[in-house]
Each structure stands twice: as structure tokens, then as C-alpha cells.
Structure 1
Amino acid sequence: MKWLHNMNLFIKRIWSGWVVILTVLLIGIFFFLVTVPNVLTETYDIERFTSAEETIRSPVTIENKQETERKTRKTVQSVEDRFNISSEITEEREAYIQEVFDAIATLNKAEKERNIPKSADKNTNDVTGSQGSEDKLDRLKEVLSPEITESINNGLLYELLNAEPEELEDGRKLLSRSVNDVMENGIRAENIQRAQTEVEESIQFSDLSPEMKTTLTGLAEFVVTENSFFDAERTAEARKEAAGNVDPVVIRAGEVIVREGQTITNEIYEELDLVGILDDELNIFPVFGLVLLIILMMIVLTYELKMLAKNAELDKKQLAAIFFISIIVLALMKIVSLYTTSVNQLFFAVPAAAGVLLVKQLLDERLAIVLSILYAILGSIMFNGHIPGSLNVEAGIYFLFSQMAGIIFLRNVKDRLAVLKAGVGMTAINMMVILLFLFLSIEKYALPDFFLLSGYGVIAAFSSVVLTLGLLPFFETGLGILSDYKLLSLAKPNQPLLRKILTEAPGTYHHSVMVANLAETACESIGANGLLARVGAYYHDIGKTVMPHYFIENQMSIKNPHDVLDPKQSADIIINHPYDGAAILKDHKLPTEIVDIAMQHHGTTLLKYFYYKELEKNKHEKEEAFRYPGPKPQTKEAAVICICDAVEAAVRSLKEPTEEKIDEIVASIVNDRLMDEQLNECPLTLKELARVHQTIRETLQGIFHSRIQYPMKEAK
């Protein structure tokens, strides 16, 4: 029998593992189906020069290389050629001016020292004067550089020789300054005429005599020359630097390429083709990325469910609850995402916290935290504006904080009003997160925007509360999940079955209350469900209401009917009460966990009193006829109630319960249940059993503590 039991446990464990894996696989498939449209690139059938039927955004971030090249080419072409200005030529020309005027000044000075009159009257035809001027001109040409004498005609030199010294000096300064101004800026070959014109204009606007202006203008034609030459190396470097400074033309993910009603030009068509939304071929790489993400989520979820199954019972009903809760939460997100735009941020109104509130109440807080993270990640994908490869970080952060607020503020899962209190806390957190986004945004928001988005946060919080309170009865009744709310309602004294026990078997009722106190304390000491143990203990002996007077605690002022019955008949009556109770509980549709406790609280124990009484008549009587059919306790709560039921009855029978006697009885019953293999099928460990022993003993000692003996008044 033991090997058969072990085999059954092994098969049950294998089957439980496959059920978990199958549930996680179904959840993963659902995750994939609701998020895959957000990572696939939508394609369009568009012709050039037609009107766009809808606003189209880029699904990817990509460089428009053709536009970048055009921009670079335009920038390079706009770079002007680089020229080098020859300072040597500038200095050379200035030296020519200085040489001409210095030579004339030197000749005039020498002539003056020899007291030779300066050429006579210009209007005279005196041969001597004319001959003197020609000699002077010859001497001037002898001292001037060949470049000057070859380029400047004699008439100009002659006019300069006959000019007055003051006017000559003024002319020199004017010409030198004007030539220096234009040559310092550089004179290219194509700009020589313009430079000469600038110098000529400077001369013409001066106060010099017409003759001197004409002479200086002629001299400027010789002096002004090209001094700026094309520098190929510098030009190439400048163009290279300009090309390097050109920013690539990038089409950002989410950027509007064409708006509804806008004409599809060649340029727009090329951009649509570039981002891949005119291509009929499906890009499956984002799908691979999504699959990897969901696989990681499934690994995390599988681990958490395994941990939950190890620490507590995880049945198909609870797995179904996780599946349906995930469907509800993600379906809500998906529906809202269809109406959400970059302008209308409706994701702030999604009641995402409803799911984790349900999970915390129905299952486990740790699992609720894990699911809140997974839901937030999936929400950031579903609200990405159908831009593959991008995540809506704002939506993800908002969902995470909103759900975590619900988990944190829902402190007492045994109180339905606690959900409303959690709703107030979620409202505050939602508004804080929204305000955070407004402050971090570079956009300017008006006060009405804050009130609108805050209103979304309020809606999200309280719609989460409404959904939680509305869906909780569905999971409790529809799936048969036993929540703390359900247990609390079953523990109320006005429950019909509890009133039935109280009125028909008051002794049993009192016994059940005592067992409930012991079992709850013991279960809480080992991390089991104390509330389940308490409620299960309330109902565990309801089968005694079928024949209440055949149980000693209900025999008040009456004769014990077992005194006149055959031991086997008495044993049959006693043995039937767990199964009668289970039948009553099933008829009244009480949770399976309560029914199982009622059926298992005696396991396959032996009715020793009647068995030994039968042995007095028949020494060959077998124990099987006086043992409960079972099953043995399958859960920690049922095992603890099995122990507490026997302990309470035994201690209550003591006339003077002392600490030593209580400890001895508790130890004896715990050891008896252990040696009788009644605890073999429950997950209770020896360490936990020792803790249960200690807790029951301490609790009973507190109940049956010694009291002060008050003196009685003596009768006179």
C-alpha cells in the first residue's frame, strides 16, 4: 500500500507540473497574440501623386542616405574656393609707388640745390626749358626700375616731375593708401578691373588737381595687379570639413511621413519605400524578438508558480484564475490602446491594477508583484503606437507604479473595505506619476491638461477597485476558489450550518470552536492558512448533527446510548460522522477545501474504545472494522485539525489539567498520529510538526491556566 501511495504522489506531482507548464504556455500564447501587431510593420498599397487616406508614421529609425548625399553635395558646393594672398606682391607694388615718388623727390631736391629753376613756364616754347625737362626725365628713368619704366609712359612721369611738392606728397599718400586697401583684401585675376576702379574712385573723390588725378589713375593701372591665387589644398580641406559637419538625414521612428489627405510626391514615396512600408514582404525579426521576450516571461512565471506550488497547494482552479486574470488585464490594455494617440494619452485610464489586486486576494502577494512587472512590460509594448522596436516607457512605468501601489496599499485582504482604501492610495500614486511625467516633459502643459490626465489616473484607480470587487465573486463561485473573503463569510455565526450545529449539537459547537482556536494558531506558526484551518474546524464535525446524542459532548443529563449498543454498531455510528458531514457540506455547496477537512480529519485512525470493547468478546476481531475509511489528511490544515481535534477532546476529559498532563497528552497524540502513519500523505515536515506540538501545548496551557481559589462566605 505504501508503494502505491508513493506512486500516486509521484504521478500527481508529474501531472501537476505538466498542468503548470500548459497553463504558462497558454498564457504565453495569449501574450504573443495581443502584442504581435505592435511589433509588425504595417504595409500600404500606395501610388504616386495620390492622396494619403491616413496619416502614416515611420515604423523604424533609418538614415535617408540619398537625402544625406544630396545635402552633403549641396553643402560642399556652397563652400567658396580658398585663395592665398601674396604679401610679397603687395609689398612689391607698394615699393614701386614709393620708388617713383622718392626718385622724383630726390631729383627735385638735387635740382633745387643746384639752383636750377624748375622748368620754366609750361606754356613757353623755350627750347632750353624743354631740353631741361627731358634731361630730368631721362635721369628719372635711369634711377627707376625697368619694370616701372617699361610699364609707365613718359607722359605720366613728366606730369609727376612737374607737380608741386605738396600736391606730389598728397598724391603719394592717397595712391599708397588706396592701393594698400584693395590689395590687402586680395585681388584675383578676374577682379583686377574692379580693384582698379575702386582705386580710381578714391582718387576722383579727392581734392587733388585734375592733372594729378589723371596721373595717379594711370599710375594705379600699373600698380594694381593680381595678388590672390587659388589654393587647391585649402579648398579641398574646407570642403571635406563641411562635408563632415553635415548631419545625416534620419527618419525617426514615429515621425510623420505623410498626413491624411496630403499628396504622395516622389520624395514622400521614396521615404515610404525607404522605411519598408511599401514592401509586401514581412519583416519577421521583430517577431523573433517578441518571442524571446515572452519566453523569458514564461520562464519567470513558471518559476514563480513552482515556488507557489511548493509552499502551498496550487490546483487547476488557481491556474485558471491566473489565466483569466491575465486575459482580462491585457484585453483592457489592448482595447484602450486602439483609441490611444500621441495627443490623447488614454493609457493613464487603464485599470491595470485590478489584476494584481485579484491575484493578491486569491493567490499570493509575491506572484502579484511578479505579474505586475510582466503586465507593465507588455503594456509598454501595446502602447508603442505600432512602432516596431520601441517601447512606451511612460506607459510601462505608470502601469508598474499603479499596480505596485495596489499591492502595497491592500494590506488586509480579509477586509473588503481594504480594497477601497487601496483605491485611494492608488489614486495618489497615479497622480504623482502623471505629475512626474509632466515635469520631466520638455513640452509645456496647461493646467487643464493636468486636470485631464489626473482624471484619467482617478478613473484607473477606482475602476480597478470596481472590477476587483465585481470579479471576485466570479472567481470565488465560478472557479470555486476559496478566498479569505469567502472564508470570513463562512465563519460568521449566523451561517445556517453553524446555527444548525449550535442548536442541534451545542457540545459539538463548543468543541469545534476550541479546535478552531488551536488549529488557527498552530497553522499560522508553520506558515499554513490559519483562516482556512479555523473555518474548516468550525464545520469539521457537522456530521454529528445527524445523530448528535451519540457523541459524548452532546450527552447532557441523558444516558449514553452506546451502553446498550453493540461495539460494532457504535463504531459504525461514530465512523459515519465525517462522511455524513461531507455530504451535508456538499449539499450546501461549501468549498471543496472545507469538505475535504471534514472528510479527512480522522484519517484512518482506530476507534480504540470500541475496538478494545469488542476484543473482550471476540479476541480475533480485526482493526479494519473499527478504523475510519479515510482518506488520510492531504493538507497541512487537515493534518493540524486532525491533531487538534483529538487533543482538545483528550484535554477536556481531564479533571485537573496541569501543564505536565497537557504536555503529556499533546506529545502522546502527536506521536500516535505519526506512528499510525496518519500524516504520511500531507506535506507536513517533522520540523513543522514539532512547531505544531509546541504551539498547541502553549495555547492549551494558556487556556487551562491555574486560577485563584476565592474564599467562600461561611454560613452563620
Structure 2
Amino acid sequence: MNWQEQLRNLLLRGYVRKLWEQKEVRRALLAGFFFLAYFVVLSVNFLPDNINLKVGQVAPKNIFSPSSVVYVDEKATEARRQAAAATIVPVYDQNVTVASKLEEEVTGFFDQIRQARQQTQLNLTDKRLLVEKTLTIQVQDQEIEMLLTADDRTIDSLEQQALQLLRQAMTQGVPEDKLETEKERLRRQIGDLGLKKPYRDLLVRLTANILRPNLIINQEETKRRINEARQAVPPVTKSVLQNELIISKGERVTQETLEKLQAVGLMRPKSTWPVLLGIALMLALNFALTLAYLIYFRPDLYHNEKQLSLLALIGLISLLIIRGFLALNFSDRPEINVLSAYMVPVAAASMLITVLLDSQLALLITLLLNWWLGVLSGFQLRFALVGLVSGIFAIYGLRRVTQRSDLVKTGLMHVALSAVAMIISVCLVTDVSPTLTGVAIAYGVVNGVLSAVLAGGFLPLLESAFDLTSPMRLLEITNPNAPLLKELLMEAPGTYHHAIIVGNLAEAAADAIGADSLVCRAGAYYHDVGKIQRPGFFIENQMSGTNPHERIAPSLSTLIITSHVKDGVELGRKYRLPQAVLDIIAQHHGTCLVSYFYHRAKEADRLETVQEEDYRYPGPKPQTREAAIVMLADSVEAAVRAKMQAGQLAGLGPLEGFVRKIIKEKLTDGQLDESDLTLRDLEKIAQAFMKVLKGIVHARIEYPEELKGLERGSANADSDRESPEPAGNNSGNA
């Protein structure tokens, strides 16, 4: 490739990259790709057929052969001929002049080196340039200089080794279609010679540049032998007798049936353009309807390319599944095979879209997919109705999904039961026999099972591929056996137990105001995970009783304390936590003041140079209700724990007042300004916190005197392990 072609390719790649970086162009290309994919999947069902019959259809009448015909099964014949052709080995002609030419190139190369070495009046660079003027072999500059400075014995040895390797290759023969294989074999041979790396690399490059095939494929002879082998295979023939019954009325059409109809001349070509145009128009209407819904009701999803691609992919997979099930034949009886459409697990798409995207959108897509189920099954309304009803019940069943087993329950209970009920209704209305009704009911049960299996199988794949957060994913990361939680427990046990209590508080508050309790619990579990990096600098992990902050400046302490937010985000990304959890980690302190170290700095600041901004967390402030709830739960838990350890909470009355004071401080400081929490929400949150905290600050029974003594001793021992800490979460130890 010359430089002009390289430049053109470079410019083309840059132009394509610029086009792809344009959002509208990228979205248009994705839409075009999925439209074409959908069209291909749908239009295959309407390819040209013969006398209005296609594979899988039921013959409307008996069809007899008008004459006796012997015809060739082209597909089977071609398969046998290709297998015969594959057994033919290429015929080679040997070019005896190649070996001598290779030897001349090798000796010529080393003679050039020797001649340059004799030019004693030239320096090394001039000698190398002298060699390069007449050199026809691609060798690196440093390799030429290496030879120019080597001794005669080394040069002679390298020349003989190169000649010996090439002679062996020529003797064995180098086929032109296996040149690269031979070069690789030479490379391995050279590697076994035990040479130093510079000499080994030189021989590899030298032989690879010089080696040429001496066995040339004789195209004519090879082609002739292949043709002979193909012609030696007799055609696979089949026969049809005159008046032979090709297909009976009510019998399902097979591919063999269509071949017989074509052989006897009963095929009637049919234009497919009107049908394909109709499919394209229906598909365009589907796209327009979906986009209109997204634009007006879910603009956030409409502008999210990743979620749009996920929606389109789920729809495409669903259509492929529909096509696959409609093509299956489970019985020799056509009346049973036609009922297989009841098994199509369209509800799996409804379940996936409900869990990953939106339940209302899932309802629309369920309607559209069952529209196509009815069209592809021969415009059979009954199949579309059963699929639609089962999909709607699947969406309803997953309205409060909390664990992956809910998919199985929904598939077995909602999808299967609704499908069975609808099938019974349809069979009663259409007067279907009891036997066929029983088969249809069994297919309905299979529909529910398959829907659950497919939804459960695709869910983790789609979650991972599109980086989405489903309730199942949140439940997985809140499992105590999750790797990062286990690491938190081992490295910072005090922080771990703090996170568990914060999770309980946050979940209760989220339930009280209708926020996402799973996101709150997951965010609470991981909000302080950054403390793993330096656990000993946080009060809840100082088991030895020493506080390293007493030996360092307040500014450095503030930097260490606030860095746990950044460290937590980095750890979360490393362990691929969902974005919703990462946001809570980053926002759970907002721009709060690290008041303890700020006041320490102010006390020691005689020049009044301490700025409050230097002792605040970097933010951002909580952007969602869930992040704000975790912030409040974190502050309340830390502050209440500090008060309890100091013996300053004597009852529930002071506790409630203290909790409300902490919430008010966050509100007054502006930390909740960017979240959607209302004053009514804050009241409900405070009440929810109290319900949880009552289980912690509960009254205790009086113990006998000897037990009281033991209890007091234990309490004193516990207090000795804690460092002094002011009440409140903004002390720098949260």
C-alpha cells in the first residue's frame, strides 16, 4: 500500500469517526440497523411460495402429480460433490531455479558485507550506507552494523547456517499456498540453533525475506481433478409417478413436498414486493408508535442510547424466538402442531423490559410483539390474545420485584395461569376438542416455564452488557458474601457494622416516603467503603484506643477524612458497583463541614487564615431522594452512637429531639437543596428513624448486683477503647 492509499484510509477513518461521534448520526445508524434486522426476521416468513403453500402450512386440498418425473435433489447432490472436491489435494509444479536464486541472494548479501568491511577508510555509518545502496533485502540498520563489526568467523558461520536452512526448505519443497507455514517452521528451526538473540533475529528476518515457494500450484490440473471428482458423484435423484398423491388435504407441507411440486411443474411464481412493502409499513408504524410513546412519556429513556439499544435488542430477540417456535413441529398431527404458538414465551420480553426499563413501556412492547405473533402465525387472533394476556399478567406480577426468584414465581403463577385460563376460554369459544384443549393447556404451562427461564437467563447478561441496575443486582451486592463487603468487614469492622445500621435506617425511611429502598440499602452498605484504605483514622475502627489524629495537623486530618469519599468511588468502580450506588458514595457527605477539625484549626489559628471551605467535603450534594436519605441516616447513626457512648441519651424523648435537630441542621446547611425531598418527607423520615432507633436505645432490666458489677466493668473496658469524639456526624469520623 503506497502513501497515498494510507493517507486516504487515515482520512476516511477520521471522517467515519467524526460521523459516529455525532449523536444524531449515530442514533440514525442504530435505528437503520435495527429496522433492517427486524425487517429481515419478519419478511422471511413471506418469501415466495408455490400455489399459495409454504413449509409448515396445511394443504387445503389433495394435490396429485400430472406426470411421471425423475428430478435431481440439487441440495443433496451439491453437498456430496463439495465433499468429493474437498478430498482433492492440489497439484504442484516444482520450479528448480528457485533454490539457486535463493543461494545467490544469501551469498550476495554476505559478499556485500565483506566488501564494505574492507573499506577501512570509511567509518561504520558510511560502510552501512554503502551496503544499503545495493541491498535488496530488508534488514535493519543495527543488524547491518552488527555484521560490519563482527569477526570473519561469525559472518561465515551465519552465511552457512542461512544457506543450510534454505537448502533444507527447498529440498522438502515450499508450496505457494503454505509459504507462511514454512516461514514459521524456519523461525522455530533458527530458535533451536542456540544463537544469540541478535544473530537469531537476523537469520529469521533474512530467511523470511528471501524464502520463496518452489512448488507452484498447477491451477489447470488441480481444477481438472476437482471437476473430475465432482462429476464422478452421481446426482441424487428422486421420482414422482403420474397421479401420485404429493400431499393430502390437511397434511402439513414440507420442503420435500415443495420440491416435488416444482419438479412436476405445479409451482406458480408470485410477486412478493407488495407483501414486503406491507411488512415494511407495519414495522415503520411500530417504530413510530414506540418512539412517540418515548418522546412524550419517557423522554429520559428516549435520549439514552444505551437503553434504546437494549429495548431494540430485546424486541429483536423476541421476534427470533417467535419465528423459531412457529417453525417447530412437535407432532405428526397438523392440528397439534398449529397449537405450538401457545408456547411462544413472549412474556419473557415483558418481564425483562419491566425489570430493566419501565412497566408501562413493557405493556406497549407486549402489545406490539403479540401483534407480530398473530401476523406470523397466519393472522390467528387467538395466539395473539393469549400472548397479550399472559404478558400483561407478567408485568403485573413484577410490579414489586425484590429477588430473582420472583421471575420464577411470575412465570409459573401469573404467566402460566393466565395463559391457561385464556386458552381454556378460547377453546370453549371455538369448540375445540377436549384432546386438543388439553394439549393447548400443556403448551400454556410450558409458556410460563420458558418465560421464567428465558427472563432469568437473559437478565444478568443484559445487566452486565448494558451496565444497568436491577433489583436483582442490588440484592446480589448487598449479600454479606459480596467481595467488597467481606473486605470491608475484615479491614474496617467498625465501619461495616455502622453501614449495616445505616442500611436499616435508610431502608425504613425509603419505605416511609416511597423511595427505592433497595437502592438506599445498597448505597448505605457501601457509602463508607472508602475507609478500607485507612481504617485506623476513623473512630469506629480504633480498637487499640490510639487516635492518630492527635499527632497530625487538623488540615491533614480533614484531608484524610474527606478522601474516603473519593477512595470509595474508586473502589466501587473497581468492583463494578451500579452507578446508583456510586452516586450515593460520592454524595453522602455533600459539602458538609468537618466541624471537629475545623474548630481545632480555628483554635490554633492566631492569624485567622483558616477558611471554612477548606474543611468541607468536595460534594456534590445529594441529587436524589435516595442519596439524601443515606446522608441523613449516616449522620443520625454516627451522632446517636457518639451520644450513647458518652451517656448523654437517657430516653426516647431526648433521642427524638436529637434526631430532628440533625435533620434540621442538614436542611439549614443547604445539603438537601438539590434533592427532591419535601418537608413532609423529612417528617416521615424522622419518624422512620425513631422506629429503628427504638430497638437500639431500649430500656434494660435491672440485673443482680454481681452482674451489675460485671456489666460496669465491661462498659468501662469498652469506653477505654474509644477515642474522644464530639457528637455529630460532621466530626470527621463518619
TM-score, normalised relative to structure 1: 0.58
Pairwise mapping of residues 183-582 of structure 1 onto structure 2 (< 5 A)?
291-292=284-285, 294-306=287-299, 317-337=306-326, 344-383=338-377, 385=378, 391-410=379-398, 413-425=401-413, 426-442=415-431, 445=433, 447=435, 449-582=436-569
**Aligned equivalents of 2:558, 2:708: Cα separation in 1:** 50
Pairwise mapping of residues 61-76 of structure 1 onto structure 2 (< 5 A)?
none
**Which residue identity is paired with 1:397?**
L
User: Is this contact kept in 2: 1:605–1:678, CA < 8 A?
Assistant: yes
**Which residue identity is paired with 2:346?**
A
Q: 1:561 to 1:472 in 2, by over 3 A?
A: same
3-state SS in 1 of match to 2:620: coil
**Aligned equivalents of 1:661, 1:703: Cα separation in 2:** 14
Confirm whether residue 696 of structure 1 aligns to residue 684 of structure 2. Answer: no
**Aligned equivalents of 2:273, 2:583: Cα separation in 1:** 60
3-state SS in 1 of match to 2:664: helix
Map Cα deviations across residues 80-113 of structure 1 (whole Å, 9 max, x no partner).
Answer: xxxxxxxxxxxxxxxxxxxxxxxxxxxxxxxxxx
**Aligned equivalents of 1:650, 1:504: Cα separation in 2:** 23
Match of 1:33 among 22, 30, 39: 39
**Aligned equivalents of 1:423, 1:445: Cα separation in 2:** 27
1:471 CA displacement: 0.9
Confirm whether residue 667 of structure 1 aligns to residue 660 of structure 2. Answer: yes
**Which residue identity is paired with 1:419?**
L
1:287 CA displacement: 6.0
1:579 CA displacement: 1.3
Map Cα deviations across residues 92-140 of structure 1 (whole Å, 9 max, x no partner).
Answer: xxxxxxxxxxxxxxxxxxxxxxxxxxxxxxxxxxxxxxxxxxxxxxxxx
Larger radius of gyration: 1
Q: Which residue of 1 aligns with 2:182?
A: none
Q: 1:396 to 1:303 in 2, by over 3 A?
A: farther
1:362 CA displacement: 2.9
3-state SS in 2 of match to 1:559: coil
User: Is this contact kept in 2: 1:36–1:287, CA < 8 A?
Assistant: no
3-state SS in 2 of match to 1:578: helix
**Which residue identity is paired with 2:666?**
R
1:576 CA displacement: 0.9
User: Is this contact kept in 1: 2:41–2:319, CA < 8 A?
Assistant: no
User: Is this contact kept in 1: 2:41–2:320, CA < 8 A?
Assistant: no
Q: Which residue of 2 aligns with 1:652?
A: 641
Q: CA RMSD in A?
A: 4.2
Confirm whether residue 611 of structure 1 aligns to residue 611 of structure 2. Answer: no
Q: Which residue of 1 aligns with 2:672?
A: 679
Map Cα deviations across residues 655-674 of structure 1 (whole Å, 9 max, x no partner).
Answer: 24233433333333323323
**Aligned equivalents of 1:528, 1:395: Cα separation in 2:** 39
**Aligned equivalents of 1:366, 1:624: Cα separation in 2:** 46
Q: 1:349 to 1:34 in 2, by over 3 A?
A: farther
1:27 CA displacement: 11
TM-score, normalised relative to structure 2: 0.56
**Which residue identity is paired with 1:505?**
A
1:541 CA displacement: 1.1
Q: Which residue of 2 aligns with 1:602?
A: 589
**Aligned equivalents of 2:546, 2:682: Cα separation in 1:** 38
**Aligned equivalents of 1:279, 1:461: Cα separation in 2:** 36
Q: 1:556 to 1:603 in 2, by over 3 A?
A: same
Q: 1:693 to 1:279 in 2, by over 3 A?
A: closer
1:520 CA displacement: 0.8
**Aligned equivalents of 1:350, 1:470: Cα separation in 2:** 16
User: Is this contact kept in 1: 2:43–2:279, CA < 8 A?
Assistant: no
Q: Which runs of 5+ in 1 are unaligned?
A: 1-16, 47-51, 59-255, 386-390
**Aligned equivalents of 2:55, 2:490: Cα separation in 1:** 75
Higher RCO structure, 1 or 2 (CA under 8 Å, sep 6+): 1
**Which residue identity is paired with 1:407?**
I
**Aligned equivalents of 1:301, 1:669: Cα separation in 2:** 41
**Aligned equivalents of 2:520, 2:467: Cα separation in 1:** 18
**Which residue identity is paired with 1:694?**
Q
Map Cα deviations across residues 26-72 of structure 1 (whole Å, 9 max, x no partner).
Answer: 799479737974998x778x9xxxxx4846999xxxxxxxxxxxxxx
User: Is this contact kept in 1: 2:523–2:584, CA < 8 A?
Assistant: yes
Q: 1:629 to 1:420 in 2, by over 3 A?
A: same
User: Is this contact kept in 2: 1:505–1:548, CA < 8 A?
Assistant: yes
**Aligned equivalents of 1:460, 1:316: Cα separation in 2:** 31
Q: 1:645 to 1:482 in 2, by over 3 A?
A: same
User: Is this contact kept in 1: 2:39–2:283, CA < 8 A?
Assistant: no
User: Is this contact kept in 2: 1:39–1:286, CA < 8 A?
Assistant: no
**Aligned equivalents of 1:569, 1:432: Cα separation in 2:** 69
1:581 CA displacement: 1.9
Map Cα deviations across residues 456-481 of structure 1 (whole Å, 9 max, x no partner).
Answer: 32332222222112111102222222
**Aligned equivalents of 1:419, 1:282: Cα separation in 2:** 38
**Which residue identity is paired with 1:432?**
A
1:574 CA displacement: 0.6
**Aligned equivalents of 2:695, 2:622: Cα separation in 1:** 27
**Aligned equivalents of 1:600, 1:539: Cα separation in 2:** 12
**Which residue identity is paired with 1:361?**
V
